[in-house]
Amino acid sequence: MDLLLQTLANGILIGGVVATFAIGFQLTFGVLHVIDFAVGAWVILGGYLAYFMSSLLGVDGFLALPVAFVLFGTLGYLIGPIIYRVRNSRTARPELMALALTFGLFTLLRGGMLTFWGFNTRSVDTALSGGSLMIGPVAVPMLRVVAFAFAMAAAAALFFMLYRTRYGLAIRATAENRETAGLMGVDVHRLSATVYGIYAGLTAMAGVLMGAIYSVNPEIGLRYTLFAFFIAVLAGLGSVGGAILAALFLGIIEAVVATYWGSAYSHLAIFATLYLVLLVAPKGILGRGL
């Protein structure tokens, strides 16, 4: 029983961190109508930024969080208009062209990281590494607790912006109907760039947290892309609210499978769950997907 409780706690904590970039992934799909294959690259870039600051500058890895949001948020803001332009072009299949563009972006970023850092795994140092918090019979790593708390705070701030501000209203209106939002005075082009910038910044911040908990390697970017796609399908494409539930479910699945059957079976369990969800609930667990 203690092992099960420990496994569930670890899964929930990791799922909360994954939810940070999953929400941004869903938001980007809702506004730009693009499945962004580059999500895993943004995660790894955030982790490498934290590694650079902790190893070369000698500062705590968590101090990279605001830097990651500003730096990669700005980069995402500059890339967003390109994705918007391709997605709304007059080609025969603009959605496929945008998909190919994000896949090419992922390949470019991954290749750049391999060129600069190689295949070696890097670790992010923080003052919280090694400490733990006892909750009954469960020993929870303090690093994961703080990462989970920060991820949930970032998600809460994003939800506040979406549902309690006029700009959030414009984002939701654009996700609902882009043409109508444009007729109501929303600058859809600039808003799309801003949304992609917010998404890239949040995803890089999640990468800082994941790099501190695990490690950083360009090859595992595809794993995080798989996670984001799994959550999107489970929650329903475009469903921001369901992303948190789906991310927590993903964390629990991976933790349970890795503990009782081995990490080699984690991806098999994820794909099997995806298959069942697509069969039973094509619009996601909340039935609100597109």
The pLDDT-based confidence of 290 (bands split at 50, 70, 90) is: very low
Highest mean pLDDT among 25-29, 73-77, 152-156: 73-77
pLDDT value for 176: 83
Tens digit of pLDDT for each residue in 235-262?
877 777 788 888 888 888 888 888 888 8
Whether 92 shows a pLDDT value over 70: the answer reads: no
**b/e burial code for range 215-232 (CB count within 10 A of at least 16 → b):** ebbbebbebbbbbbbbbb
Q: What is the mean pLDDT of residues 73-91?
A: 89
**Structure tokens belonging to residue 120:** 């070696």
- pTM, entire model: 0.90
What 3-state DSSP class applies to 143? helix
195: alpha, beta or left, given left = phi > 0 and alpha = psi -120 to 50? alpha
Dihedral pair phi/psi, residue 97, rounded to 5°: -65, -40
Q: What are phi and psi of 134, to 5 degrees?
A: -90, 125
The pLDDT tens digits for 171-195 are 988 888 888 888 888 889 899 999 9
Is the pLDDT at 217 greater than 70? The verdict is yes
pLDDT surpasses 80 at 115: yes
Q: How many residues does the chain have?
A: 290
How far apart CA 257 and CA 119 sit, in angstroms, is 27
Higher pLDDT, 112 or 271: 112
pLDDT in the model for residue 39: 93
**For residue 286, what pLDDT is reported?**
62
User: 135: helix, coil or strand?
Assistant: strand
Q: Please determine, for residue 50, whether its predicted confidence score (pLDDT) is greater than 50.
A: yes
* pLDDT-wise least confident of 43-47, 89-93, 177-181, 246-250: 89-93
